Structure 1
Amino acid sequence: MIGTLVEIYDFILYTFVAALVFGPLFFPGAQPWLGTLAALSSHAVAFLVRPLGAWVFGRLGDRWGRRGALVMSLSLMGVASAGVGLLPTFAAIGVAAPVLLVVLRLVQGLAVGGEWGGAVAVAVEHAPPSRRVLYGSLPQVGSVLGLALAAASLLIVSSSVDEETFLSWGWRVPFLAGFVLVGLGMIVRLRLEETPDFKQTRDEVPPSFAATVREAGRPILAMTLSWLAIIVVVYALMTGLLAYAKTYVEGIDAVDVQVGLVLCGLLLVPYTIGAALLCRRVSRERLVLVAGAFAVLWAFPAFALVNTGEPALLWLAMAIGVVPYGLGNGALPSLMSDVFPVRLRYTGIAVSFALANVIGGALLPLPALALVQTFGGSSVPLALALVLGGLATVVGVAMVRRLPRYPAGSPGPELDTSSEGSTSAASR
């Protein structure tokens, strides 16, 4: 949980700052909105390499151990984030500035691609059988706390200095503070023990790429689709609002959105843990199905509240809108662990989540943000992105219900043939 908190803090901080200041500092000369889109596109390149990072670190984790792969991913994130915090701007070094910014963002993408899958595998494989869902949700608790901490650090700095100072050097402070957090995370992570499941299968060599695709391709597709509503909520209804609201919604500024992000990060902790505990009574598949349907139904009402220009209604839209994120956080991590055998678990979880982030974090919300200007500042493209993500999740859940299960600590696969999947220990 702590390691994931640190990595997500560093990763999501870039998104926030890109929407606020990277346009004029690293992509000058364009219209303000186009400069912001260019900065957000530099953010998007990290999503394109996340599957590569997931594959590389996943293979390392499945072959040589979860601990070493997680330590490496955290170290890589620390170096990249410190680099962003120290990077000269376009005014100082010219075109090299945006090029180096993109390179550092690529490194962040590689690092975060290998983080989450290993964290979930470690949490679930160390958990007692009755606590696997709860333990599996804890990396996501770390994620939302990392998001809240990133928003809070940016809010504190931007509120403490004037706009000119913030553009000059204030935006660098949260990145450099993140490097300190990485050091604290390393102290915790280096004490991590290998999981019992990995110790039992240490001598099994993971299959080749082609064999992995044959064996894990279907569950990877199912879990990728299942995550889309949850991921789109983050990047369309949370971080995307920094770019949308400050430009097109009169009465709302970046500080209002930052306050909403901190609020959402704090709310998502009880949302996530509550959803994990609810899985004792309701199947994980049903909760994820509800998350997908909720994203579809709330998409247009949420942006209707945002477009009022009232900060209180903006916060209400965000607080209700992240309910699908909490439901998915609680139910999906342990479910992902169950659909992959131990020798492919790190890789399968990491690649599924990385692909979901490519689609839900870049391929859906970024074109939607670009279309906002085409439609005269309308929020309809962003709402449609949420609808598409929700529908994809419904399809993914239908596929997941037909997959065999490999619960942590079990000797072999189990086929979950029940409609709910909540009555057996394996499903829980």
Structure 2
Amino acid sequence: METLAPIILFLFVLFLLLGTGVWVGLALLGVAFVGMELFTSRPAGDAMITVIWAASSSWTLTALPLFIWMGEILYRTRLSEDMFRGLAPWMARLPGGLLHTNVVGCTVFAAVSGSSAATLTTVGKMSVPELRKRDYPEKMVIGTLAGAATLGLMIPPSLTLIVYGVTINESITKLFMAGILPGLVLAGLFMGYIAVYAKVSKNYKPQPEPQMTFREKLANSRFLLPVIALIIVVIGSMYTGLATATEAAALGVIGSLALAAGQGSLTWKTFGESLMGATRTSAMVALILAGAAFLSLSMGFTGLPRALAAWIADMQLSRFELLMALLVFYIVIGCFLDGISSVVLTMAVVEPMVRAAGIDAIWFGIFVVVVVEMAQITPPIGFNLFVLQGMTRHEMTYIARAALPMFALMVVMVFILIAFPELATWLPENMRTRP
């Protein structure tokens, strides 16, 4: 293949830069710059400036820092304690008991955060001490938390879906809607696993919760009302077509500030910390996106994506075979890159072959997010594993083994998505949209 030399060069320079500890965004810029200099006659500096400006001046991309800021504000409120008080009475009677608060808590917080790490940290602070106090199995406490926290990547507002939509120029709002049903199904799989484990395990003997009347349960549920209201405002405004993703993000920031003020936890200190935390995360993602945009341009000039897409087409893989190849591909690179980097690094090559195979781009976004979720709990770079290690002081191998059943359930979710694509396409096809 005549494009073999560019492929080898791109991979060599990329892994050389990543191996030396260079930031992912700078590594992508470096690879693209080398490719432009060696394989094209266009001035690399001019091209880099032009494409980075074009990629960064996207109105759609404005939703990213706003959703990040919303999650940072809520992370610094008493939301976690209130969520546990509101959820625990309803979860206690289910098979598996309060372990379900890990899954439901992550599902709820994912709908106002968009970040897997923020979801894990917030719900973990709430649930781990309480579940340990009640003698729940340590491996189940850690494993279910590790798996359920990945829902932050799928349930809107998802930072990974924003990055995917911007990268391939698809509607962020439709991608958000596409993630709702698969996210709920995956949460259901996690809860089903907890229920089955509680029934078959002989070591599952947590302390029983005190009986509560229905009136007492309802009284405790009032602690959930503020966050439920915020979810309805953010997601409902997009689904009904009243707001775009960016406008919904702005509503979310205003709502989270009001929630923090109502709880009495909005101070100048927490406001400044949330703003700086959002700025750091947004700057990191923006640098990665800028590098990916320049890399896409560089690859386009070399003809690499078209050549690879043609090569895949010549192999005459069926749609299912292509998806299985991409499943393995993303699991492997996910062991070494975070989710956002995995998406932006590969889309220039993967998108043409996916569209050529007739695969719906909205559906494929959910497929990619599920597979990228797996990378959050696979060593050696699984980010959720590092967060859990700092939180629980367990060895990395112990945490990885605890999370393994959740990894298996995500693989099952991939096949459910393939078998029932309507899970991801029905809502986007039947929603109202703002022009």
Question: Quick check: TM above 0.5?
Answer: no
Max Rg structure = 2
Q: Return the TM-score normalized by structure 1.
A: 0.31
Q: Return the TM-score normalized by structure 2.
A: 0.30
